[in-house]
Amino acid sequence: MYLFLNVQILYKVWTILIPHCAPIQFDVTFFFFPHPFLLFILAAMDCDDRTRDELSELSVPRDAVADAQDAALGPCPPMCGNGNTLGCILESIGENVIDPVVAERTCQQVLESLMQKQDVADNVCGSLEGQDEVPDGSLPTSASAVGESSKECKVHSSRGLQIVTTWTLAKCDRAGDGIKRDKELLNLEGLPRRIPANSSASKQSLLLRLFESKLFDVSMAISYLHNSKEPGVQAYLGNRLFSFPPDTVDFYLPQLLTMYLHGPEEAGDAIKPYLVHRCRHGPDFALRCAWLLGAYSADGPAVSSRQRHSRGTKLRRLILADELAPTAGSSADQQNANSGFGRARSKAVIGLIPPSLPCPGTVLSAISPSKRTHQRSKSDATSCVSQAGVLRRSSSNPKVEMQSEEGQGSWRPESSRAVQCLLQQVEPSDDGQGGSVEPDRRTVRLAPEREFLKSLMAIGKRLASLPTKEQKTQRLVAELSLLNLTLPARIWLPTAAFPHHIVRLPYTQAVVLNSKDKAPYLIYVEVLECEDMEHSPVPARIPESRIRNTRSEENLLEEFSITSEHRAGSFTMVPNIDPDEDAWAQDDIADLQVEQPEIHKSDKSTNSSDTISQFSVDSITSLDSKAEPVYFLAGDIRRRLSEQLNVPATQFRRDPEDPSAAALKEPWKEKVQRIRESSPYGHFPNWRLLSVIVKCGDDLRQELLAYQVLTQLQAIWEQERVPLWLKPYKILVTSADSGMIEPIVNAVSIHQVKKQSQLSLLNFFLQEHGHYNTEAFLCARRNFVQSCAAYCLVCYLLQVKDRHNGNILLDQEGHIIHIDFGFILSSSPRNLGFETSAFKLTQEFVDVMGGQDSDMFLYYKLLMLQGLIAARKHMERVVQIVEIMQQGSQLPCFHGASTIRQLKERFHMSLTEEQLQMLIDQMVEGSMRSLTTRLYDGFQYITNGIM
Amino acid sequence: MAQPEKKSGLLRKSSGSKKVFKEKVVLMYDEIFKTEDPVQNNVRFWEELFLLKVNLEYLEAKLESLVGDQLMQMKDNINSLFHHCVLTLREDHQIRVVNALQTLCGLLRGVHQKNMPNTGFDIINILMGFDNAEEEMKSLMVSLDSLLCGDGSLSLKGLCLKLLLCLITVTGNISQNTILEYIMINSIFEAIIQILSTPQIQQHLGYDAVVLLALLVNYRKYESANPYIVKLSILDDEMALNGTGLVLSRTLCEYNRHYKSKEEEAQGGIFSTITNIVGNMFIGEAEEKLSPRTNESLLLALYEAVHLNRNFIAVLAHSHPEMEPATPPQSPSSPNTPTNSQLDGNLPTSDALVSTELPLDPNTQTSNLLITFLKYCSIVMQDTKDEHRLNSAKLCLIILTCIAEDQYANSFLHDDNMTFRVHLHRMPMRHRKKVVDKNVPSRPLACAVLDLMVEFMMTHMMKDFPMELYLRCVAIVQKLICYQKKCRVRLHYTWQELWAALISVLKFLLSHETVLLGKHNIFPLALQVVNLFNMFITYGDTFLPTPGSYDELYYEIIRMHQAFDNLYSMVLRHSTNNGQWKDPASKVTQALVNIRAIVNHFNPKIESFAAVNHISQLSEEQVLSVVRCNYDTLTLKLQDSLDHYERYTEQPREASFFTQLVRSISADVRRTLSLGTLSQEVLLKEFSTIA
C-alpha cells in the first residue's frame, strides 16, 4: 500500500505539470510566450523522451540504439502529441528566443515551489545549469536532478546537458548482453540521463527496492505498468521485462498489447522495445503479436483516438511486412552506423513508417518475382541449367511458372497460394549467395505460417456453407488432403509448447465439431520436433503411400528422402549436375534392368515381399507344424469375436450426425499410435501428434481472457497447495473473428456421454471405471470432485453462463472440464433469466460425488472454501488481468460500467472465513436446488437437442 | 493467307472438269516429289514452303500413291523436307512452326501408309536417311521439348503433342515402331510431366499428354528397358500426379454423366420405353447409344499409373470437390476428346460457382478419382457382350486388383473417416426392380468395392461365362478380406449379400458344369469361392463386425447346404475318375472339409430340434439359437495359407492382353487424331494477332 501511495504521489506531481503543457506549447509555437518555465517543461519532456529511449537502449541492443538516437535527434516526443511541430519549434527557439539564464532561474523556482507544495521534496539537490547556446544547434536543455538515497549527484554540463542519478541506471539485473551494454553506457559520459522529475527519493528507493527484489515478478510488473502513470517507472518496467523469462511474459501478452494499444502513451512506448525485440527473435511471437494487435484494434476506433489506433496498426503492419526479421534489423543497423540516410531508414523500420517512404512497398515488390518460383524443383533446375550453360528451358521457365500460379489460382485460390508459399518455404534459401534471395528469406519467415492459417480459415468458411455434417466432413477431408500436398513446410502450430515443423495432416482423422451455423473443426497435425523453428531444416517430403511396413524398409526410406530432396535432378534433362542424384538414378535403372521381366514391380518389390513374409509368418505361427493338421473349435472363434467386440466398449459408435464424438472418445494414446503407424513420418523419433480446433467466425478474445484467468487461478491454487484441478486450454486469437483452440484430449462432452451411453452420469462412471470400491472409481470420483469444485468457483467468480451439458466435458480420469467461455462476467445469453444460480450443480453431479451426505460432498465444499480463500488472497493477480483487458474493449463481457467492481465483490474481501463458509454452503444449496439450471438444461434439450 | 484458298474454291466450282487449279503449296509438293533438288529452281524454296498452308490430304495421298521404288528415288528430297521441317521448328515465326509440324505429321503418316512389309529401318531411311537419323531425331525432340515447355500458345503445344501421338501410332504395333527408339533416347518425359503439373495447360492438353504417356510406357514394355517406365515409376511430383488424376477423373466423370443423362432420357416414361423397344427392334444400335463407347486409352493410363507408381495411389483418394459442379451436363459430342473448349471455358470460373452453388445442391457429393472410377466400372461392367467392352471390364478389374493389393490404398478404402455415398449403376434386370435408392448410407469405400463385385457376380452368370473376370472379382474380394484380417478392420458390411452371391456362383457352376467344362477350368473359381468361406469360418473373429454375423455365416451355409453337397459330389467325381481335372478337383475337395463339417454337425442338431419341438419349418431365429448352442462341439481343421494370395503380375499372363489393347488403342488414337484444317484456322487467327 505504501508503495502504491508513492506511485500515486508521483502521479500527482506529473498531473500538475501536464495541464500546463498543452497551452504553453501552443504559445511557444507562435512565439507569443517564451516563458522560461516552458523551456523547462520542454526540456524535461525532451529529456524524458531521451531517458526512455536510453532505458530501452540499455537492454535493447544494437537496433534500439539506433532507435534511440533517432528519437533524440529526430522529432519524436510522442508525449506532446504531434512530434513534428515540436521538433521544429525547438530548433528555432533554441537559438533565438530564449534567454538561458532566465530559463534556468525560472525553472528552479518553479521546481522548488512545486516541490514544497507537494511536500515531498525532502531531498533534492537539483541544480539547474545554465546553458550556453549550443553550437551545433541541438536543443538547449536543463534538467532537474534528484538525488538518490546515496545523495550522489552528478552534474554534467558537457554539451549543455543533463544530470543523472544512478537511479535510472538501475542495477537492475538483466539477462545476457544487456548487462554489458549497461556498463558501457554507464561509462559514456555526456549521454543523457535523467530521473523522473520530482519524486521522493526515499520512497522512490522503496519502489526501486521492490522492483529489484527477488519477489518482483511479471504479474507485478504488469500491474505497475498499468497503474503507474510515471514515465520513468514505466520506462524502467519496460526494460525490466527483458529480464523475465520469455514464457512468463508471453502469458501477459494480451495485457501488454492492450496497454500498448489503448493504454497511456508512455506505457505503450515503454513496452514497445520489448515487443520489437521479441518479434525480432521469434516468428511465433511476432505473429501472435500481429494477430492480437489486429484483434484488439478491431473494435478500437470507437474508443481510442485515431492516433493510438494507428499505432497498433502500424506495429502490426510492421510485423506482417516482416520488417522485424533479424537479417533486416542487422542490415538496417549497419546502414544506420554509416550514413544519415541509414537513420532515416531504420527509423522507418522501427518507428513509425510514414506512408510516403517506399520501404515496405519496395521490399514487397522485390519479393514478388522470387515468390513466383514456387516449385523448388523447377527453380533449381533452371539455375542448374543456366549454370551449365546448356540451352534448356532456363529462359522460358519463369513464365511457365507464372502461368501455373495463375492456373492454380483459378483452381483454388487460397490453397494454391499456400502451396506456393509453403513450397517455396520448403526450400531453405540455402543457395543464397545472390542478393535476390535476401528479401525472399525475410518474407518467408512469416508468410508460410500466415498462408497456412489463412487457408485453414478459408476451409472453415467454405464448410459453413454446406448443409449436412456428412458433407462437411467429406469436404473437410478433401480440402485437407489438398493442403497436405504442400507439406512439410516451415509452419507450426502456435498452440504447441515446443518448436516443431508440421509435416503432415492426417486428413482422414479430421472431424467437424458440433455447431449450428459455424463450422469449427478439429484437425490432427503431425509434427517433427526440432531445435529451432527458424533455422532447423525442414524435413523432406515423404510421399503419402510410402507407409513403413517393417524396419527393413528404414534404409529405403532414407534413400527416398534423399531423392525427394534432390528431386530437381529428375526434372532437369541435363545430366551430371548433381552427381549424387545421377548415381542414384542410374542405380535405380540398373536395378530395374536386372529384374527385367518385372520392371514394374521393382518399386513395389520390397513392399510385396514384406507383406508376403508377414503373411507366411502369420500362418506359420498359427500352423504349429505343417505336417499335422491343426484343429480348432468353432466355438473359440465365436468366443474370441464376441470378446474382442466387448472389450472396446469404451468406444463410441460412429454417428454421422456427430462425427466428433467417436473421434474424441478414442483414447489419445491409441490415436497417436494408430496415426503414427499409418504415417510415412511415423518412424522419426521426434515425431509428435498435435491437434487443434480451428474456429472461424467466432470471437475468441473472451476465451483467451478466460484462459488467462483460469491459468492464474490454477497457479494460485498450486501455490497455496489447494488440490483444485483446472484444465485451461490454450487459445490462439488470429483475428476478431477467428482463432484456434487447443483441444482437450481424452474428453467428451457430458451431452455426448449421455447420448451415446444412454446412462446417467453415475452409471457411466461405474461403467468406465469399475465398481464403487475399486481404486479406479474412487480415483475418478476424487478427480471429479476436485475439478467440479474448481470449476464451480470459476463459474461463480467469472459468472460463466450458458452452462449446458454440451459445454461441460468429462475426461478419461473423471475430471470435468468446462469449455466455451462465450458468456462471462457481464454478458449472458439472451434468454429468459435462466441460470440465476451461482454455478451449475445438478443432482447428477452430486450423485457422482456420492450424495449430499457423503464425505466426498463435504470434501467438495471444503475445497471450494479453501479455493476461495486462496483466490481471495491473490485477488489482485486475477482482477488485474481482467481490468487491463477492459481498456478499449468492446467485448460483451465488459458490458456495463461495474464489471470490475462486481468481480472484486465476488471475492468477498470483507468476509471472515466463517462467513465465507456460510456463503459457500448457501451457494451450493442454492445451485443444487436451482430450478433455473434444470430449466436451462430442458431449454437446451428442446432447442438444440443437448441432453 | 485465306485468300488463295478462297480463290481456288471459286475457281474449282466454275471451271468444273477443266484443268484443276493447283494451290501453290501443291505445286511445291510436286516439286519435292521429283528426283531433282527443288532448290535448283528456287533458292528460297524451303522458306516459302513453310509459309504456305499445308495441304495434308494431297501430301498424304501423293505419298501413298508412290510405289516403294519411287519413294526410294525421292529419298533425298524427302530427307531434306524432313530436315527442313525440323529446322523450321526452331524458328520464332509461329506460323512456320505450325506448318512444319503439320507437314511432319503428313509426311509420317503418308510414308507409313505405304505399310511396307519390312517396316522400321526403311522408313527411317526414307524419312531421314540412316546416317542423319540420330541427329535429326535428336534435333526434333529437342525442338519439341522446348516448344512444349516454352511459353508458346496452347494450340502450338497441342500440335506438338499431336505430332508425337502421330509418331507413336503410325504403326499397328507400337513396339515395331523403330522411330520410337529415338524418343526413348531423347526423353520428353519431363515435358509431359510439366504439362501435367501446370494446371492451366493440363486442363487443355492433359488428355493428350496422359494418352501419350500411357502409350510411350507401352513401347517394348517386356523386352527392353523403357526409360519412361522407370521415370513414371519413380515420379513423385505431387503436382504432376495430381494433374494426371484430375485429367483421368474429369474424363471418367464426363463419361458417367453422359451415361446418366442417356439413361434418364431412356427412362422418360412408359411411352418412351415402348418406343425405345420398338426402336430397338429396327435399329440395333440403340444399345450402343445407351452405353457410349468406353475410353480405353484413359483406362490404360490409369492402369499404368496405378500399377507403376506407388505415389499415384494416394492421388486416388484426393478429392476433387469442384469437379462435378464445375462442368454442367452438356451434350458430349465426342467422349474421346473431352478437352473441348466448352469444358475448358467453364473450369476457371469454377471457384465462383462452387462457393455459390454448392449449398444449393445438397446432393452434390464430394467425389474422388476412386469413386468416379468405381461408378465408371459399374457402367462398363453392365454389358460385356462385345469384345471391346469385355476388354474394358477386364482392364477395370485389373486396376481394381492393383488397388486392392496396395497397402496404402487399402488403408483409405477401409478408413472409417472417409465415408462416401457411392451410387453404383445397376443393370436393369427382369427379376429385380431397378431401385434407385437415394439412401445409400455413407460408408467406407471398401463397401462400394464389395458392392461392385457382388453386383458383377450376380449379373454375369450367362452362357458365355466370363470365367476370367469372375476369378478376378473373387480375388479382389479375397484381397480386401486379407487386409481386413491382417489389420483387424471390422467393416460394417452386410456380408450376407456377398455370401449369397458366392453361393449363387457355385450353383451356376454346378448347373452348367458340362457346358462350362468344355471351355474353362471351373475348379480354380470353385476353390477360390470355397476358400473365401473358409476365411470367414477360420478368421471371422478378426474382421467380422458382430458376433451375430458369425452366426449368420453358419446359418447361410446350413441353409444352402445343398449347393455345397452338390459341389462336393461333383468334385469328388472328378477327383476320383482320373480325368484331366483330377488335381484341381481334389484341391476343392480338401477345401470343403470345414464346410462339410459344419453342415454335418448342425443339420442333425437342427433336425432333432425341430423334431423335439414339433416344428416343421424352423424360423431363422430358431436356427440361429441352435447354431449358437452347438458351437463348442464342432471341431474344424485349420487350412493352410488361406490368407495368401498371388500378387498380380502383368507378365507373362497379361502380356498378350496388353499388347492387343495397346494395338487397338493406338488404332483408335490414330483414327481420331484430327489434324484437320479447322485447327489451322484457329491457329492462324491466334497467331495473326500475335505476329
pLDDT at B470 exceeding the cut of 90: yes
Say whether both B584 and B671 belong to one domain: no
**What percent of chain B has pLDDT above 70?**
80
The reply to whether residue A508 touches residue B417, judged by beta carbons under 8 angstroms, is yes
DSSP string, B162-183: HHHHHHHHSSSSGGG-TTHHHH
The residues pairing with A739 across neighbouring beta strands, listed in sequence order, are A695, A733
> Which of B319, B544, B593, B630 is the best substitution to test chain A (most A C-beta atoms within 10 A)?
B319
Q: Determine the average pLDDT of the residues in A857-886.
A: 87
DSSP string, A668-683: HHHHHHHHHHH-TTTT
Three-state helix/strand/coil letters over A80-143: HCCHHHHHHHHHHHHHHCCCHHHHHHHHHHHHHHHHHHHCCCCCCCCCCCCCCCCCCCCCCCCC
Q: Is B294 within the bounds of a domain? A: no
Q: What is the pLDDT of residue A515?
A: 72
Say whether both B531 and B673 belong to one domain: no
Residue B437 has which C-alpha cell? Answer: 435408392
Residue A358 burial (CB count, 10 A): 11
pLDDT at A187 exceeding the cut of 80: no
- Nearest chain B residue to A636 by CA: give it: B632
Q: Is B24 within the bounds of a domain? A: no
Q: What is the pLDDT of residue B333?
A: 33
Q: What is the pLDDT of residue A641?
A: 83
Query: Nearest-CA neighbor of B529 among B506, B510, B548, B552?
Result: B506
DSSP one-letter code for A733? E
The reply to whether residue A481 touches residue B537, judged by beta carbons under 8 angstroms, is no
Q: Determine the average pLDDT of the residues in B628-635.
A: 86
| Sequence-distant (≥ 6) Cβ neighbours of residue B12 within 8 angstroms | B20, B21
Which residue of B358, B409, B632 is in closest CB contact with A635?
B632
A chain contacts of residue B634, beta-carbon cutoff 8 Å: 633-635
**Weakest mean pLDDT among A122-126, A388-392, B104-108, B501-505:** A388-392
Q: pLDDT: is B47 or A383 the higher one?
A: B47
Model pLDDT for residues A333-345, shown as the tens digit of each residue: 333 333 333 333 3
Distance (Å, whole) CA A304 – CA A313: 13
Q: What is the pLDDT of residue A435?
A: 36
pLDDT at B35 exceeding the cut of 60: yes
* Phi, psi values for residue B224, rounded to 5°: -130, 175
Report residue A112's pLDDT band, with 50, 70 and 90 as the boundaries: low
> Which of A465, A470, A474, A657 is the best substitution to test chain B (most B C-beta atoms within 10 A)?
A474
Q: Are A296 and A701 in contact (CB under 8 A)?
A: yes
Angle between helices B75-88 and B130-149 (to 10 degrees): 20
Q: Is B625 within the bounds of a domain? A: yes
Q: Is B691 within the bounds of a domain? A: no
Task: Provide, for chain A, the percentages of residues in helix, strand and coil under a 3-state DSSP scheme, each rounded to the nearest 5.
Answer: 60, 5, 35
Model pLDDT for residues A484-499, shown as the tens digit of each residue: 877 788 888 888 888 8
pLDDT at B450 exceeding the cut of 90: yes
Say whether both B563 and B510 belong to one domain: yes
Report residue A676's pLDDT band, with 50, 70 and 90 as the boundaries: confident
Q: pLDDT: is A39 or A207 the higher one?
A: A207
Model pLDDT for residues A717-746, shown as the tens digit of each residue: 998 888 989 988 888 888 888 888 888 888
pLDDT at B281 exceeding the cut of 80: no
Taking CB atoms and an 8 Å cut-off, how many pairs form between chains A and B?
263
What type of residue is A802? D
DSSP one-letter code for B76? H
pLDDT at A89 exceeding the cut of 50: no
The reply to whether residue A599 touches residue B347, judged by beta carbons under 8 angstroms, is no
> Which of A411, A483, A564 is the best substitution to test chain B (most B C-beta atoms within 10 A)?
A411
B chain contacts of residue A407, beta-carbon cutoff 8 Å: 198-203
**Weakest mean pLDDT among A374-388, A481-495, B241-255:** A374-388
Q: Are B399 and B469 in contact (CB under 8 A)?
A: no
Say whether both B582 and B482 belong to one domain: yes
- Nearest chain A residue to B648 by CA: give it: A601
Report residue A674's pLDDT band, with 50, 70 and 90 as the boundaries: confident
Number of Cα atoms under 13 Å in the Cβ half of residue A842 = 19
Q: What is the pLDDT of residue B636?
A: 86
A chain contacts of residue B238, beta-carbon cutoff 8 Å: 485, 541, 543
In degrees, rounded to 5, the angle at the alpha carbon of residue B353 between the alpha carbons of residues B349 and B357 is 170
Q: What is the pLDDT of residue A908?
A: 85
Q: What is the pLDDT of residue B203?
A: 84
**Weakest mean pLDDT among A8-12, A319-323, A902-906, B394-398:** A8-12
Q: Are A441 and A431 in contact (CB under 8 A)?
A: no
> Which of A475, A604, A613 is the best substitution to test chain B (most B C-beta atoms within 10 A)?
A604
Which residue of A543, A589, A654 is in closest CB contact with B230?
A589
What is the helix (H) or strand (E) element at residue A687, kind and residue range?
strand A687-696
Distance (Å, whole) CA B529 – CA A476: 39
Q: Determine the average pLDDT of the residues in A88-99.
A: 37
Q: Which residues of B331-370 are buried (b: 16+ CB within 10 A; e: fewer)?
A: ebeebbebbeeebeebbbebbebbeebbeeeeebbbbbbb
Say whether both B594 and B673 belong to one domain: no
Which residue of A404, A465, A601 is in closest CB contact with B649?
A601
Residue A324 has which C-alpha cell? Answer: 522485424
Say whether both B598 and B479 belong to one domain: yes
**Distances, alpha carbon B547 to alpha carbons A644, B486, B491, B557, in Å:** 10, 19, 13, 16
User: What is the extent of the structural domain holding B496?
Assistant: 461-642
Say whether both B669 and B638 belong to one domain: no
Minimal C-alpha gap between B620 and chain A (Å): 19
User: Is the ipTM, as predicted for this complex, more than 0.90?
Assistant: no
Is A24 buried (19+), middle (13-18) or exposed (0-12) by CB count in 10 A? middle
pLDDT at B228 exceeding the cut of 50: yes
B chain contacts of residue A602, beta-carbon cutoff 8 Å: 233
Minimal C-alpha gap between A744 and chain B (Å): 20
Say whether both B41 and B161 belong to one domain: yes
Model pLDDT for residues A806-820, shown as the tens digit of each residue: 888 888 888 999 888
Q: Is B424 within the bounds of a domain? A: no
DSSP string, B575-634: HHTTSTTHHHHHHHHHHTHHHHHHHHHHHHHHHHHHHHHT-SS--HHHHHHHHHHTGGG-
Say whether both B613 and B671 belong to one domain: no
Q: Is B1 within the bounds of a domain? A: no
User: Mean pLDDT, chain A, as a whole number?
Assistant: 63
Which residue of B227, B539, B636 is in closest CB contact with A634?
B636
Q: Is B303 within the bounds of a domain? A: no
Q: Is B317 on the interface with A (CB under 8 A)?
A: yes
Report residue A821's pLDDT band, with 50, 70 and 90 as the boundaries: confident
Residue B537 has which C-alpha cell? Answer: 469360418
Model pLDDT for residues A160-170, shown as the tens digit of each residue: 333 333 333 33
pLDDT at A512 exceeding the cut of 70: yes
The reply to whether residue B348 touches residue A478, judged by beta carbons under 8 angstroms, is no
Minimal C-alpha gap between B518 and chain A (Å): 33
Q: Is B486 on the interface with A (CB under 8 A)?
A: yes
A chain contacts of residue B347, beta-carbon cutoff 8 Å: 410
Report residue A77's pLDDT band, with 50, 70 and 90 as the boundaries: very low
Q: Is B598 on the interface with A (CB under 8 A)?
A: yes
**Is the model's pTM score more than 0.90?**
no
Q: What is the pLDDT of residue A926?
A: 83
> Which of B236, B306, B363 is the best substitution to test chain A (most A C-beta atoms within 10 A)?
B236
Q: Is B374 within the bounds of a domain? A: no
- Nearest chain B residue to A612 by CA: give it: B644
Model pLDDT for residues A515-526, shown as the tens digit of each residue: 767 788 888 999
Q: What is the pLDDT of residue A291?
A: 84
Query: Nearest-CA neighbor of B472 among B378, B529, B398, B403?
Result: B398
The reply to whether residue B407 touches residue A607, judged by beta carbons under 8 angstroms, is yes
Minimal C-alpha gap between B306 and chain A (Å): 11
Report residue B327's pLDDT band, with 50, 70 and 90 as the boundaries: very low
Say whether both B617 and B532 belong to one domain: yes
Say whether both B111 and B43 belong to one domain: yes
pLDDT at A592 exceeding the cut of 80: no
Q: What is the pLDDT of residue A126?
A: 36
A chain contacts of residue B194, beta-carbon cutoff 8 Å: 400
Report residue B9's pLDDT band, with 50, 70 and 90 as the boundaries: very low
The reply to whether residue B149 touches residue A511, judged by beta carbons under 8 angstroms, is no
Q: What is the pLDDT of residue A546?
A: 59
The reply to whether residue B314 touches residue A544, judged by beta carbons under 8 angstroms, is yes
Q: Residues 210-269, chain B: which have Cβ within 8 Å of A? A: 221-222, 225-227, 229-231, 233-239, 242
The reply to whether residue B540 touches residue A637, judged by beta carbons under 8 angstroms, is yes
Say whether both B494 and B575 belong to one domain: yes
Q: Are A848 and A761 in contact (CB under 8 A)?
A: yes
**Weakest mean pLDDT among A54-63, A692-701, B315-324, B593-602:** A54-63
Q: Determine the average pLDDT of the residues in A174-201.
A: 41
The residue behind cell 443393370 is B427
User: Mean pLDDT, chain B, as a whole number?
Assistant: 79
Please count the structural domains in chain B.
2
Is B21 buried (19+), middle (13-18) or exposed (0-12) by CB count in 10 A? middle
DSSP one-letter code for A531? S
Model pLDDT for residues A243-281, shown as the tens digit of each residue: 888 888 888 888 888 888 777 777 777 788 888 888 877
Report residue B683's pLDDT band, with 50, 70 and 90 as the boundaries: low
Q: What is the pLDDT of residue B475?
A: 93
The reply to whether residue A410 touches residue B235, judged by beta carbons under 8 angstroms, is no
Q: What is the pLDDT of residue B541?
A: 87
Model pLDDT for residues B338-382, shown as the tens digit of each residue: 333 333 333 333 333 333 333 334 445 567 889 889 999 998 888
Query: Nearest-CA neighbor of A734 among A303, A320, A222, A271?
Result: A320
Q: Determine the average pLDDT of the residues in B220-225.
A: 83
Torsion A347-A351-A352-A353 (CA) sign: positive
The reply to whether residue B236 touches residue A567, judged by beta carbons under 8 angstroms, is yes
Q: Are B535 and B481 in contact (CB under 8 A)?
A: yes
